[in-house]
Amino acid sequence: MKSAQSLPDDVPARYRGWHWVKTLWPYLMEYRWRVLAALLCLVAAKVASVSMPFLLKYQVDHLSAADKAGIAVADWWLWFPLALVLAYGSVRFLNVFTGELRDLLFGRVTERAMRRMALRVFRHLHQLSLDFHLNRQTGALQRDIERGTNGISFLLRFMIFNIIPTFLELFFVIGLLLLNYPPVFALITAAAVVVYVAYSVKLTEWRTRYVREANRMDSTTHARALDSLLNYETVKYFTAEQREAEAYDGALAGWEQARRMNRLSLFSLNSGQALIISLAMAAMLLFAAYYVLTGVMTLGDFTLVNAFMFQLFLPLNFLGFVYREIKASMANIERMFELLDEQPGVADDAQQPLKVTEGRVEIRELVFSYQPERPIIRGLSLSLEAGKTLAVVGASGAGKSTLTKLLFRFYDPQQGRILIDGQDIRQVSQQSLREALGIVPQDTVLFNDTLKNNLLYANPQASDEALQRVLVMAHLERLVRECPDGLETVVGERGLKLSGGEKQRIAIARMLLKRPAIMVFDEATSSLDSQTERGIMAAIREVSAGHTALIIAHRLSTVVDADCIAVLDQGQLAEQGTHQQLLARNGRYAALWNAQQQEQEI
């Protein structure tokens, strides 16, 4: 586990400051009139707040004068400051009302900013490259976004409605004290504020490193738990419940330690702040009592100074809490802003849409590796003629499935080009490219939704007739018939309620529903039994007739009817031809064919 002291160095410097203001400013300006009205309410509330101690002073002085004059009880109403009492009540109501109105006006601004930022991060994550998502921890990512959006809400509301108003009130109070009373009161107030703010800033900066560490450990524990629960079956297969519990408890232990340091630092901060405020209040009361006894101030003035102290120092004490929470919120949104700084590994700069006229695919001198020291594809050239079927076969690790990732531009090759109807796929928009492609992936992952919605994900506008047609073609009628809720059956997290073969048939139906110009089948029948495989391959041949189709296959029996078969060996083209031509050559393909035939006989 990283030491807490090193954490601030792991965060870009601009995230430790007020970068979030620049990021959120456009969202605030979207409702600029609401923001302005809320600020006016804020000023009105503070003016009302500052005027209340003066109204209280006049009441006390009025009643004190009546007491000295010996007014009879029967004549109390002549000396009772009714107007002052009514004014005091009205001002107090105005203070509360304008505060509530301010919150009402600004609430929509805050919620809209949270919505905009959450959507911006969500869209950005979908734009990032496959490499980023292969290395992420979904649980930690989810927690980062959740804490970040909540942090935005806190920053906006408390920065504008607590820090600014408190300093506005401080300005008013110090000015009024200087104008009306001996300068010692204003000096004590100003000195207390300066010392309080300096102490709070210093201690909070020190404490923030523990907040970051607590956040990091919170994300780690959440990711650990989510990863274990998503792999529930694997945990059961290997009786690893105790190991998973120990690993989770280890992550919780790190979180507990970070929280303990967080709490200790909070104790130091709160204690110091309380000491500063207590000394300032005691000093002001001492001077106020002295001036009353010497006749410089009245009893009402003493009451006013006392009211100002509570009215001023209590918000100032709350300001310490707000500043701490703002720093914590800034630590919370650091990771979310870092996510926005992540750049896609595959840039989508081109605006030109792909225009598919025939569907011819050309691969020219392709070179690609995930890591420089481990080349996957080495100078590969292939041609997939329009309306024809090309099967790519070979041993595991030959680079077959990598071709689909390059075709969909999840990665860009280090050298070479892929052309569709003469257009380099790097020169067209990724959206138009992927709209022209359809795939049945090797590993089918479904949404935790109904069968129908998972099928319609490929084409939400598809008719019921088209849906029924692909159900028949993908041999899904029996599954739908056996499910109690039919097409409305929920498939579970990642489709865990279905078998591997059922999920693969859904993937095939989904692709058939899309009817793309170029079809890609990446081990499309790897989880199917032989009988179903034959039926699906017949359906694939039927639907791909007249379409360009690329079939990545391990079982050679599924591609014997392909127009052309390319055999890959360590990322290079070893052989190419039809099934009969390749068998006649008695080369690499023939060896693979004979080995698989022997396996089937056994």
Residue 423 has pLDDT above 80, yes or no: yes
Angle between helices 464-473 and 530-544 (to 10 degrees): 130
Q: Within this chain, do residues 337 and 448 fall inside the same structural domain, yes or no?
A: no
Mean pLDDT, rounded, for 397-424:
88
> What gap in Å lies between CA 386 and CA 436, rounded to an integer?
13
Q: Which pLDDT band holds residue 494 (cuts at 50, 70, 90)?
A: low
Which of 160-164, 217-221, 353-357, 512-516 has the highest average model confidence (pLDDT)?
353-357
Residue 460 has pLDDT above 70, yes or no: yes
Mean pLDDT, rounded, for 580-595:
88
Percent of the chain with pLDDT over 70: 76
Examine the fold and report which residue of 515, 544, 564 is the final residue of a domain before the chain moves on.
Answer: 515
Of 180-184, 301-305, 554-558, 562-566, minimum mean pLDDT range: 301-305
**Where in the sequence is the domain holding 487, given as residue range(s)?**
444-515
The per-residue pLDDT of the chain, averaged, comes to 77
- Residue 367 is assigned to a structural domain of this protein: no
Q: Within this chain, do residues 454 and 330 fall inside the same structural domain, yes or no?
A: no
Q: Which pLDDT band holds residue 78 (cuts at 50, 70, 90)?
A: very low
Among residues 31, 40, 39, 42, the alpha carbon closest in space to that of 109 is found at 31
Residue 143 has pLDDT above 80, yes or no: no
pLDDT for the residue 362: 92
- Residue 223 is assigned to a structural domain of this protein: yes
Q: Within this chain, do residues 449 and 327 fall inside the same structural domain, yes or no?
A: no
Q: Within this chain, do residues 334 and 448 fall inside the same structural domain, yes or no?
A: no
Mean pLDDT, rounded, for 512-538:
75
Higher pLDDT, 86 or 61: 86
Residue 157 has pLDDT above 60, yes or no: yes
Q: Within this chain, do residues 77 and 222 fall inside the same structural domain, yes or no?
A: yes
Label the pairing between strands 548-552 and 518-522: parallel
Q: Within this chain, do residues 171 and 293 fall inside the same structural domain, yes or no?
A: yes
DSSP character at residue 450: B
Among residues 525, 546, 548, the alpha carbon closest in space to that of 537 is found at 525
With beta carbons less than 8 A apart as the criterion, state whether 31 and 39 touch.
no
pLDDT for the residue 510: 86
Mean pLDDT, rounded, for 117-145:
73
Q: Within this chain, do residues 329 and 460 fall inside the same structural domain, yes or no?
A: no
What CATH number is associated with residue 118? 1.20.1560.10
pLDDT for the residue 152: 76
Among residues 577, 602, 599, the alpha carbon closest in space to that of 588 is found at 577
Residue 50 has pLDDT above 70, yes or no: no
**Distances in Å between the alpha carbon of 387 and those of 197, 334, 428, 517?**
74, 51, 22, 9
Percent of the chain with pLDDT over 90: 3
> What gap in Å lies between CA 189 and CA 372, rounded to an integer?
65
Mean pLDDT, rounded, for 34-51:
72
- Residue 209 is assigned to a structural domain of this protein: yes
Examine the fold and report which residue of 304, 321, 341 is the final residue of a domain before the chain moves on.
Answer: 341
Q: Within this chain, do residues 54 and 177 fall inside the same structural domain, yes or no?
A: yes
Mean pLDDT, rounded, for 422-448:
86
Phi-psi region of 397 (alpha: psi -120 to 50; beta: other; left: phi over 0): left
Q: What is the sign, positive or negative, of the torsion defined by CA atoms of 551, 555, 558, 563?
A: positive
> What gap in Å lies between CA 256 and CA 3, rounded to an integer?
14
- 317 Cβ contact list (under 8 Å, min separation 6): 273, 274, 277
pTM of the entire structure?
0.63
Residue 190 has pLDDT above 70, yes or no: yes
Which of 143-147, 223-227, 246-250, 523-527 has the highest average model confidence (pLDDT)?
246-250
> What gap in Å lies between CA 395 and CA 379, rounded to an integer?
18
- 229 Cβ contact list (under 8 Å, min separation 6): none
Helix (H) or strand (E) holding 186: helix 183-230
Q: Residue 176 is encoded by which pair of tokens?
A: 């009024």
Q: Which pLDDT band holds residue 48 (cuts at 50, 70, 90)?
A: low
Distance of CA 61 to the CA centre of its chain: 59
Only one residue has tokens 């430790």, namely 16
- Residue 400 is assigned to a structural domain of this protein: no
Q: Residue 345 is encoded by which pair of tokens?
A: 């590994």
Counting every residue written for the chain, the total comes to 602
- 25 Cβ contact list (under 8 Å, min separation 6): none
**Distances in Å between the alpha carbon of 92 and those of 48, 52, 59, 89, 96?**
7, 7, 15, 5, 6
With beta carbons less than 8 A apart as the criterion, state whether 289 and 305 touch.
no
Task: Count how many domains the chain has.
Answer: 2
Helix (H) or strand (E) holding 418: strand 415-420
Examine the fold and report which residue of 341, 359, 386 is the final residue of a domain before the chain moves on.
Answer: 341
Of 195-199, 205-209, 308-312, minimum mean pLDDT range: 308-312
Higher pLDDT, 154 or 380: 380
Helix (H) or strand (E) holding 40: helix 32-69
pLDDT for the residue 139: 60
Residue 79 has pLDDT above 50, yes or no: no
- Residue 586 is assigned to a structural domain of this protein: no
Higher pLDDT, 395 or 324: 395
Mean pLDDT, rounded, for 53-70:
59
Residue 43 has pLDDT above 70, yes or no: yes
pLDDT for the residue 457: 84
Of 238-247, 327-336, 527-536, 552-561, minimum mean pLDDT range: 527-536
> What are the φ/ψ torsions at residue 135 (nearest 5 degrees)?
-100, 0
Residue 77 has pLDDT above 50, yes or no: no
Mean pLDDT, rounded, for 221-238:
74
Q: Within this chain, do residues 175 and 288 fall inside the same structural domain, yes or no?
A: yes
Distance of CA 481 to the CA centre of its chain: 39
> What gap in Å lies between CA 111 and CA 134, rounded to an integer?
32
Q: Within this chain, do residues 33 and 157 fall inside the same structural domain, yes or no?
A: yes
Q: Within this chain, do residues 129 and 242 fall inside the same structural domain, yes or no?
A: yes
Q: Give the CA dihedral 292, 294, 296, 297, nearest 10 degrees.
A: 10
Of 152-156, 376-380, 459-463, 592-596, minimum mean pLDDT range: 152-156
**Distances in Å between the alpha carbon of 493 and those of 279, 446, 447, 502, 540?**
60, 8, 7, 15, 28
> What are the φ/ψ torsions at residue 547 (nearest 5 degrees)?
-110, 155
Q: Is 387 helix (H, G, I), strand (E, B) or coil?
A: coil
With beta carbons less than 8 A apart as the criterion, state whether 258 and 4 touch.
yes
pLDDT for the residue 418: 92
Q: Is 491 helix (H, G, I), strand (E, B) or coil?
A: coil
Which of 335-339, 370-374, 413-417, 505-509 has the highest average model confidence (pLDDT)?
413-417
Write out the DSSP string of 63-99.
HHHHHHHT--GGGHHHH--HHHHHHHHHHHHHHHHHH
Q: Residue 500 is encoded by which pair of tokens?
A: 């591997």
Q: Give the CA dihedral 97, 101, 103, 106, nearest 10 degrees.
A: -160
Q: Is 483 helix (H, G, I), strand (E, B) or coil?
A: coil
What CATH number is associated with residue 453? 3.40.50.300
Q: Residue 182 is encoded by which pair of tokens?
A: 């001996």
- Residue 365 is assigned to a structural domain of this protein: no
With beta carbons less than 8 A apart as the criterion, state whether 43 and 244 touch.
no
- Residue 420 is assigned to a structural domain of this protein: no
- Residue 409 is assigned to a structural domain of this protein: no
**Distances in Å between the alpha carbon of 286 and those of 195, 303, 519?**
20, 13, 86
Q: Which pLDDT band holds residue 193 (cuts at 50, 70, 90)?
A: confident
Among residues 168, 180, 163, the alpha carbon closest in space to that of 46 is found at 168
Which of 174-188, 222-236, 361-375, 522-536 has the highest average model confidence (pLDDT)?
361-375
| Residue 164, number of CB atoms within 10 A of its CB | 15
Write out the DSSP string of 211-247.
HHHHHHHHHHHHHHHHHHHHTHHHHHHTT-HHHHHHH
Residue 64 has pLDDT above 50, yes or no: yes
Residue 101 has pLDDT above 60, yes or no: yes
**Distances in Å between the alpha carbon of 386 and those of 311, 383, 567?**
80, 9, 20
> What gap in Å lies between CA 566 and CA 555, rounded to an integer?
14
Helix (H) or strand (E) holding 423: strand 423-424
**Between vectors from CA 494 to CA 493 and to CA 497, what angle results, nearest 5°?**
65
Higher pLDDT, 330 or 564: 564
> What gap in Å lies between CA 489 and CA 477, rounded to an integer?
13
> What gap in Å lies between CA 566 and CA 579, rounded to an integer?
10
